[in-house]
Amino acid sequence: MDSFQIFGIQLTLSFVVYGLLAKWYVGPLVDRLGLHDALIALVFPHALRHLGLTILVPVVVDPNFPREWSVPMAVGDVIAQLLALGCLIALRSRAGLAIGLVWIFNVFGLLDLLFVMAQGIRLDVTRFQFGGFGFSPLFGFRCW
């Protein structure tokens, strides 16, 4: 098995685990909350997306990573984090734009994820050393 296949299996299994966690535990808890509080609980993990900047640190990952992949990924993560923080503030204060901002955050986050995954496949980034950063997609910093 090559690195791409191993990474794909790990990512798929992480999605399965997080899907079960969401269905069995998070979903029932969120069902008991009002809309704004439920969205706060779901958006909060994305407030840590600044951790994606780690991909730009050469001592953590292969310094030869293609910048056309790592820079958009890092920038996309920071933008998603800032949108998440804006959502949290708007939701907490029950601002009228809160739900619209959550939609913008979700659409941006999905497009960012799809772009990064497509670029990663196109550039075959699995041939580079991810170092400690390699665990972040598997444990949720990028996918959850």
- Mean pLDDT in consecutive groups of 10 residues from the start of the chain, 144 residues: 79 88 92 94 90 81 85 93 97 97 96 90 81 55 44
pLDDT score at 63: 83
Q: Is 19 within the bounds of a domain?
A: yes
Contact of 119 with 72, CB cutoff 8 Å? yes
d(CA 58, CA 60): 5
Domain that residue 61 falls in: 3-135
Q: Is 143 within the bounds of a domain?
A: no
Report field, pTM of the whole predicted structure over 0.85: no
Residue 29 corresponds to which tokens in the numbers above?
């808890």
Q: Is 144 within the bounds of a domain?
A: no
pLDDT score at 144: 42
Q: Is 141 within the bounds of a domain?
A: no
Q: Is 120 within the bounds of a domain?
A: yes
pLDDT score at 134: 58
The structural domain count of the chain equals: 1
Q: Is 8 within the bounds of a domain?
A: yes
The half-sphere exposure of 1 on its side-chain side, counting CA atoms within 13 A, is: 8
Q: Is 16 within the bounds of a domain?
A: yes
Q: Is 42 within the bounds of a domain?
A: yes
8 CB contacts (<8 Å, ≥6 apart)?
none
